[in-house]
Structure 1
Amino acid sequence: MSHYLLPRNSLLWLLGAQTAAIAPLVPHLPAFIWAAWAAVMLWRLQVFRGRWDFPKAPLKVVLVIFFSAALYLNYGNFKGMEPMVALLVSACLLKLLEIRVYRDLLLVVYLSYFLVATQFLFSQSMLTALYGGLCLWMVTATLLVVHQPSGHTAPFRSVRLTGRMLLHCIPLMLLMFIIMPRLGSFWAMPNLQHATKTGVSDSMAPGDFANLTRSGDVAFRVTFEGEPPPTKKLYWRGLVFSDFDGRQWRQADPDDYFDGEVVSWFDKREPGWKGLIENSGEALAYSVIMEPSHQPWLYALPSAVAVEPEIGLARDFRLVKQGNVTQRIQYQVKSYLDYQLEVDPLPQWRLRRELQLPDGFNPQARATAQQWYQESGSPQAYLQRVLGFYNQSFTYTLQPPLLGEHSVDEFLFGSQRGFCEHFSSSFVFMMRAAGIPARVVVGYQGGEYNELENYLIVHQYDAHAWAEVWLEGRGWLRVDPTAAVAPQRIESGLDTALPVAEVFSLQRYRQNPFLNRLRLELDALNYRWHRSVLGYDSQKQAETLRNILGEVTPQRLVMFVALVGGGILLLVALHLYWQRRPQPQDPAINAYRRFTDKLARRQFPRQLGEAPRDYIQRLGESDLVAQKPELLEQAQAITALFEQIYYQDRRVLLGRLKSQVRSFSP
């Protein structure tokens, strides 16, 4: 089999396009692939220079075995999206080493298109879309360069041609985006094995939230219908922890609930425990755009009411979704900020659950709680005494000391320095030790309002933990011991409660008006992208088509596609024709051509490539001048005028040239 001599420009374009397509996958691929990528690039260049030969068949087998074994050891199997992406990248690299015939080159180019598409498996932001468009441009330019081996003489000609081709495709792409059925994203497949689970986890131990507060990533964005509530009321409920083993808080086992279905889904029959919720006042409606968390729980203000399918209210009064949140989603919620939960006396099985404490842990906290409760005389007075204790003696910090086996004792009567999970955990312990049902609630608190688009940004550093206490006649009440220690954290946010240097995010630049404005502008732009493009679901598509067509019928839809699509194709055809239309010639050349045409009709045509002066010299030697001598003088005058206009740019003589050509009659 003869080798395909890969042109230099084609090789450079191919390597550049493939590198650009693979670059965004760096955080999601094993490290050995990047070492292999560098080795393959070097080998391919050396083959092109004639220094090395193509790998032999035995070496190919070794490379395939090595890549397969390395991927299996890294992932454990080949199921899931990440192993498949790594396998595709490996195949592209290995195929690059055996480009021997023309079809091998085309195959690598076509595989590069798939590499570009895999970028959107991990991110669908506007920046990713722009970068993906750039990669698409490069790969398509490579495909054109492959068919133009002499393109090294004009290396950017293919780039310009590719740009025009892609511009021609944009109107049709927009039309397809508007009318094509919304079938869900290909990248919504929930099987990313090594996907980082960001945000609140399904357990809480000292130090967990301190790590989250160092992340400036966005957790979700909220758009309110009307004025948003004040920051101190923005408690975004996520999870409820009732089980404590001495170190960690966890959710209660769903099997522990005996009073109906654990989740009340929007489109299903409501269980009896829904009657334990007493909402009053006016509902607060809002829309949430949540970033992927790879967890099933959602975030909402209390008391939340699900208004969409696949979203339900759990028995502990939090929102959940059917399946994990593996891609950015948007959901509508209604909340009643004036509410009561479970005012009726708790049954014995609930009391056991919400009073549970492990044996053998924190004896000092137990004894102190029982003593203070006896001295207080009532649950309300005891609760206020504990909050007063926090207010007088504790410090709010992201860098608390480590705690030992009796973590609550060491925190309450030793370090007295901590973060929200220290305060909520120890507070709930003190409540339970005194015989008051209590539990920990985690989620987010507050948020940053972006006035440019009128929405709230909730970051990961807004993660928060607080307590819920059950009091007779009042039900579950939210109590936030953090507010007793650092009220500015609840009123204004984390960045006012701590030194700015401790918040490792762009928020530390918010004191600079220009940088803060730029940050909010970029986030608002990304927010519009999420709502308009990524949030263009079936409901928005139906609304858009109704606005365009009125009543959406198959006949109107076909007519719309035919008219708009036909108009787009017509405009593209006209643009292509306009680019290739005959260019108008110089008026002087047209006048001179009429002069030579007159002589041609007298059997004296101008020869191909003959200069005007040579043409006149030959005319002077012809029989035509011998019959009519005055023609030579007229022809010489016309030729002299043409040379002055065309070669000396004396355009003022153009009128005289046209006049003499009109009067010339051989």
Structure 2
Amino acid sequence: MAEPRRSLPLDPQARAWTLAAAAACLLPLLLQLPGPLAVGLAAVSAMVGALSWWRRLPAPLRLALSLALVAVVLAQWRFSFGRDTGCALLAAMLALKPMELTNLRDARSLLGFALFAPFATFLLDQGPVSLVLGLAAALLALAAMLRLAELESGETATLRPRERLRRVGAMVAIGLPLALAVFWLFPRMATPLWGVPERAISRTGLSDTMRPGDWVDMMADDRPALRATFDGAAPPTSEMYWRGPVLWDYDGREWSASRWFSALPPAAVEHGPARYSYELEVEPTERRMLVALELPLAAPDGVHQGYDHTLSTRRPLTAITRWRMQSAAPTVFDTGLRPVLRQAALRLPEGFNPRTVALARQWRAEAGDGAQADAAIANRALAWIRGEFGYTLTTPLLGRHAVDEFLFEQKQGFCEHFSGAFVVLMRAAGVPSRVVTGYVGGYRNPFGDYWIVRNSDAHAWAEVWLPERGWVRVDPTAAVAPERIYDTIAERASRSPGGLQALAPVVDIGDWMRRGWNDLVLGFDAGRQQRLLHAFGAGDLGSRQLVLLFALVAGLALAAMLWMVARGERERDPVLRAWHRLGARYARLGLARHRHETASDWAARVVALRPRSAALLPLTARFSDWRYAPAQDGVRDLLRDLRAHRP
């Protein structure tokens, strides 16, 4: 009994195409995983791929490798499950899958499984690089499947790699018009039909908690957190305080936001005359917190504004979002502080930081009571920080009395240390105060005339409450390291000599292109789809209009697909094309060749009915010799005679 075609062993060329396609599918997913894990999985994939050329590994060894790799992945994510863990497990399984690569069926199974990897990549990143790599991987996988089809059909003359890729590209091009019609015109829902699973570990971004040392990784992350485009003039960089979560509660180690304050209506504010209108493009953070330039005049649609003017979205920011806002610096901010709020702004845990508490009480006794006394205490603390403290990201882990250790022993730290210690000192002295987190500064991209605020611009400052003025911003970090506040890493790099300055335009152009991608593709939501024809003077498109427009364009796209398929099905070989035309000439006389007839049988039947067509017999024999035993000699003569022959 003949062996099933699906069990055919792979030849070296088919194996190479299959392994190359699987590696291409794995690459974009590896780029989204943590560096050490990605390198390890790449090494395992290369080792397994090399071993697959030699022999199939024993089942016990395959099982042991699989369990070991799964354990490593789960340990990397601390056994928490989410999108990160699932995608990492998929990458691990794909790295090990070539262990089973033996025959044609195994190769098709590997390619089918590998195609999940580029699609899983889009759960973690939707950037243009991921798209290009995913598209290249899909094309290579289709080319590998085409090679497997050649192997199964038994063809001995295989296509050259360039020709195989060209044919796959042509097949993809046939479906491209319909895919574009679906993307641009298929009616989109304003909210997703189902939720996307949470990531095991949230992306870098602001949190509603703060403890010394938690921000070190974020302040070393130079990726954009948001981009801002101002309608007119932008504020000075020194006034670009992007307000985020406000932290009220302190347990001796950690500052945290109070949900109780978010339920209260926004505090009364009198804004200054300088107002700024802008659009924020916010990168996904998996959280609900939204920042705004101090202070927003109103919350945009879909955003809640709490008592302390913090903004929170209704749904987690799992994708790039855009928000229109107006902001103005406050001149008076909640002068009528209610007793319960004042008590919350003075609360400190018992038994922590005795030296700080003693110093604050001494300052209070020396300053006395009243509004001027509170301001004098704040200025005295700033003068102390300015004269004796230094700024550094390299700090040791603090103990139980963290503020005491920072103020009296270490005297070096960054914004977390300065803002937290300053607020503890103020509260101990009887001055209502709180910690505010967010970003500060920004870098103007000259190519797009917009501002980039990076994760490394994350900052924490303080607010103290003074009679007749209300909440007043105090930035103790600026007292010791103003360059950290008013300059960003990008600005210092662009002004530095050497290679960094030369690369600044390249970085700017790259970010401008990424912003364009965000605007054209990732930011294309239901609202923008409804406004799709505004440029042509049309109004908003409703669901019915979108359906009709989609049906029209999709119908045209399908017609184009059918035309391209029909065009591609036309016989490319001139000899075969001439033979088919010859048969069509006889078919018009009622002598068409039947499906069961060979060329010689058909010619014999025609000559028997039309003896004057006797020249058809030798011509058919010449064609059969060329078709089944092709030779270069005589092809031109055969082509000429086929074209010239008439019934």
Question: Normalised by the shorter chain, which TM-score bucket?
Answer: 0.7 to 0.9
Aligned letter for 2:148?
A: V
- Please give the alpha-carbon distance, in whole angstroms, between the structure 1 residues aligned to 2:80 and 2:366: 64
Which residue pairs with 1:293 in the alignment? 285
1:491 to 486, 504, 511: 486
2:364 to 360, 363, 373: 373
Measured at CA, do residues 307 and 366 of structure 1 come closer, stay the same or move farther in structure 2, by a change above 3 Å? closer
8 Å Cα contact 2:187-2:547 kept in structure 1: no
8 Å Cα contact 2:52-2:98 kept in structure 1: yes
2:353 to 348, 354, 362: 362
- Please give the alpha-carbon distance, in whole angstroms, between the structure 2 residues aligned to 1:466 and 1:584: 76
Is 1:44 matched up with 2:52?
yes
8 Å Cα contact 1:305-1:334 kept in structure 2: yes
Q: CA deviation at 1:467?
A: 0.4
- Please give the alpha-carbon distance, in whole angstroms, between the structure 2 residues aligned to 1:605 and 1:401: 96
Which residue pairs with 1:227 in the alignment? 233
2:122 is paired with a residue whose SS is: helix
8 Å Cα contact 2:205-2:218 kept in structure 1: yes
Q: CA deviation at 1:200?
A: 2.8
Which residue pairs with 1:631 in the alignment? none
Which residue pairs with 1:628 in the alignment? none
8 Å Cα contact 1:303-1:339 kept in structure 2: no
Aligned letter for 2:312?
A: V
Is 1:526 matched up with 2:514?
yes
1:320 is paired with a residue whose SS is: strand
Which residue pairs with 2:214 in the alignment? 208
- Please give the alpha-carbon distance, in whole angstroms, between the structure 1 residues aligned to 2:490 and 2:561: 53
Measured at CA, do residues 152 and 514 of structure 1 come closer, stay the same or move farther in structure 2, by a change above 3 Å? farther
Which residue pairs with 1:191 in the alignment? 198
Is 1:464 matched up with 2:444?
no
Percent sequence identity over aligned pairs: 33
Which residue pairs with 2:553 in the alignment? 564
- Spell out, residue by residue over 1:349-389, the C-alpha distance to the aligned partner (whole angstroms, 9 max, x if none): 32222112233433333333333334345222222222222
Is 1:334 matched up with 2:326?
yes
Measured at CA, do residues 374 and 84 of structure 1 come closer, stay the same or move farther in structure 2, by a change above 3 Å? closer
Within a 5 Å distance, the mapping from 1:385-424 to structure 2 comes to: 385-400=380-395, 403-424=398-419
1:476 is paired with a residue whose SS is: strand
- Please give the alpha-carbon distance, in whole angstroms, between the structure 1 residues aligned to 2:500 and 2:194: 38
8 Å Cα contact 2:252-2:352 kept in structure 1: yes
Q: CA deviation at 1:531?
A: 1.5
1:182 is paired with a residue whose SS is: coil
Q: CA deviation at 1:538?
A: 0.6
Measured at CA, do residues 166 and 351 of structure 1 come closer, stay the same or move farther in structure 2, by a change above 3 Å? same
- Please give the alpha-carbon distance, in whole angstroms, between the structure 1 residues aligned to 2:404 and 2:542: 70
Range that drifts further, 293-302 or 572-581: 572-581
- Please give the alpha-carbon distance, in whole angstroms, between the structure 1 residues aligned to 2:532 and 2:358: 65
2:524 is paired with a residue whose SS is: coil
8 Å Cα contact 1:78-1:84 kept in structure 2: no
- Please give the alpha-carbon distance, in whole angstroms, between the structure 2 residues aligned to 1:583 and 1:400: 73
1:238 to 240, 244, 253: 244
2:423 is paired with a residue whose SS is: helix
Q: CA deviation at 1:541?
A: 0.5
* TM-score computed with the length of structure 1 as normaliser: 0.74
Aligned letter for 1:564?
A: V
- Spell out, residue by residue over 1:228-262, the C-alpha distance to the aligned partner (whole angstroms, 9 max, x if none): 2111111111222222333332223x35x5xxxx3
- Please give the alpha-carbon distance, in whole angstroms, between the structure 2 residues aligned to 1:361 and 1:88: 48
Is 1:18 matched up with 2:27?
no
8 Å Cα contact 1:307-1:333 kept in structure 2: yes
Which residue pairs with 1:352 in the alignment? 343
8 Å Cα contact 1:444-1:463 kept in structure 2: yes
Within a 5 Å distance, the mapping from 1:504-583 to structure 2 comes to: 512-547=500-535, 550=539, 552=541, 557=546, 560-571=549-560
- Please give the alpha-carbon distance, in whole angstroms, between the structure 2 residues aligned to 1:559 and 1:318: 43
2:290 is paired with a residue whose SS is: coil
Aligned letter for 1:122?
A: L
- Please give the alpha-carbon distance, in whole angstroms, between the structure 1 residues aligned to 2:247 and 2:273: 28
- Spell out, residue by residue over 1:502-524, the C-alpha distance to the aligned partner (whole angstroms, 9 max, x if none): xxxx9978974431000000000
8 Å Cα contact 2:186-2:547 kept in structure 1: no
1:288 is paired with a residue whose SS is: strand
- Please give the alpha-carbon distance, in whole angstroms, between the structure 1 residues aligned to 2:458 and 2:237: 14
8 Å Cα contact 1:401-1:417 kept in structure 2: no
Is 1:106 matched up with 2:97?
no
* TM-score computed with the length of structure 2 as normaliser: 0.76
Which residue pairs with 2:120 in the alignment? 118
Measured at CA, do residues 60 and 547 of structure 1 come closer, stay the same or move farther in structure 2, by a change above 3 Å? same
Aligned letter for 2:475?
A: D
Q: Tell me how many residue pairs correspond in the alignment.
A: 573
Which residue pairs with 2:590 in the alignment? none
Within a 5 Å distance, the mapping from 1:62-141 to structure 2 comes to: 80-86=82-88, 88-89=90-91, 92=94, 96-98=98-100, 102-141=104-143
- Spell out, residue by residue over 1:178-221, the C-alpha distance to the aligned partner (whole angstroms, 9 max, x if none): 1112246799714222x344133333233334443222122121
Q: CA deviation at 1:463?
A: 1.0
- Structure 2 alignment gaps of length 5 or more: 575-611, 623-635, 637-647
Range that drifts further, 531-540 or 58-67: 58-67
8 Å Cα contact 2:187-2:543 kept in structure 1: no
- Please give the alpha-carbon distance, in whole angstroms, between the structure 2 residues aligned to 1:191 and 1:72: 16
Q: CA deviation at 1:164?
A: 2.2
Aligned letter for 2:8?
A: Y
- Please give the alpha-carbon distance, in whole angstroms, between the structure 2 residues aligned to 1:544 and 1:444: 34
- Please give the alpha-carbon distance, in whole angstroms, between the structure 2 residues aligned to 1:445 and 1:114: 40
